[in-house]
C-alpha cells in the first residue's frame, strides 16, 4: 500500500528549545566577531570570504526560519539578490585563494561551496530530499567530515585562529543542516 504524501514541515514549525536559540545566537555573535577580526587584520580575500559567508548564513537562517516573512515577492527577490551577491563574493574569495597559492583556504572554500549547493537544493527541493534522504545525508556527512579534517590540519599547523574559525563555521552550518534534514519527512 502506498504511503500518503506528507508535505515537509517548515523548520520554523519545529519545537526548538530556548537553549538552542541562545546557542545559535552565541555562534552567530562569535562568527560576526571573527569576520570583523579578519576584516581589520587580514588580507582582503579573507575579509571578503568571512563577510560573504556570514551573509549567506544569516540569509539561509532567515529563509528557513521565517517563511511567512518571505511571502512577499519583493522580500524574496531582495533576499535572493543578496544571496547571489554573497555567492559571487565567496567564489571571488575562493579564486583569490587559488591565485595566491593558499591551497588549504582554496580547498576549504570549495568544500563550503559544495555545502551551500547542497543547502540550496535542500531548501528548494524538499520533495527530492525526502525521496533520497540517505543520499543527501551521505553527501552532507562527507562534506562536513572533510571540513572537520581541515580544522585538525589548521590546528596541527599551529594556525589556531583559523582552526577556531573553521570549527565555528562547521558548528553553524552543521546545525543548520541538521535542522533542515529534521524538517524533511521520512
pLDDT at 158: 97
131: closest CA among 141, 142, 121? 121
pLDDT tens series, the chain, 186 aa: 444 444 444 444 445 566 777 888 888 999 999 999 999 998 888 889 999 999 998 888 887 777 777 778 888 889 889 989 999 999 999 999 999 999 999 999 999 999 888 888 877 788 888 888 888 889 989 999 999 999 999 999 999 999 999 999 999 887 776 665 455 454
Judging by beta carbons within 10 Å of its beta carbon (0-12, 13-18, 19+), is residue 81 exposed, middle or buried? exposed
Query: What is the pLDDT at residue 16?
Result: 58
pLDDT of residue 3: 44
pLDDT at 17: 67
Q: Which residues does 121 contact at the CB level (< 8 Å), separation at least 6?
A: 128, 129, 136
What lies within 8 Å, CB to CB, of 105 at 6+ separation is 45, 46, 49, 97
pTM for this structure? 0.77
Amino acid at each position: 500500500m502506498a504511503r500518503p504524501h506528507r508535505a515537509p514541515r517548515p523548520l520554523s514549525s519545529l519545537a526548538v528549545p530556548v537553549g538552542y536559540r541562545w546557542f545559535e545566537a552565541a555562534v552567530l555573535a562569535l562568527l560576526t566577531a571573527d569576520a570583523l577580526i579578519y576584516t581589520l587584520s587580514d588580507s582582503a580575500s579573507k575579509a571578503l570570504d568571512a563577510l560573504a559567508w556570514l551573509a549567506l548564513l544569516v540569509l539561509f537562517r532567515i529563509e528557513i526560519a521565517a517563511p511567512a516573512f518571505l511571502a512577499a515577492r519583493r522580500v524574496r527577490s531582495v533576499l535572493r539578490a543578496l544571496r547571489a551577491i554573497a555567492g559571487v563574493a565567496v567564489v571571488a574569495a575562493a579564486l583569490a585563494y587559488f591565485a595566491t597559492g593558499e591551497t588549504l583556504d582554496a580547498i576549504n572554500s570549495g568544500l563550503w561551496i559544495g555545502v551551500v549547493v547542497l543547502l540550496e537544493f535542500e531548501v528548494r527541493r524538499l520533495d527530492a530530499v525526502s525521496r533520497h534522504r540517505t543520499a543527501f545525508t551521505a553527501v552532507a556527512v562527507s562534506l562536513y567530515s572533510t571540513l572537520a579534517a581541515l580544522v585538525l590540519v589548521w590546528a596541527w599547523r599551529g594556525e589556531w585562529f583559523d582552526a577556531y574559525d573553521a570549527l565555528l563555521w562547521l558548528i553553524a552550518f552543521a546545525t543548520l543542516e541538521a535542522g533542515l534534514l529534521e524538517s524533511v519527512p521520512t
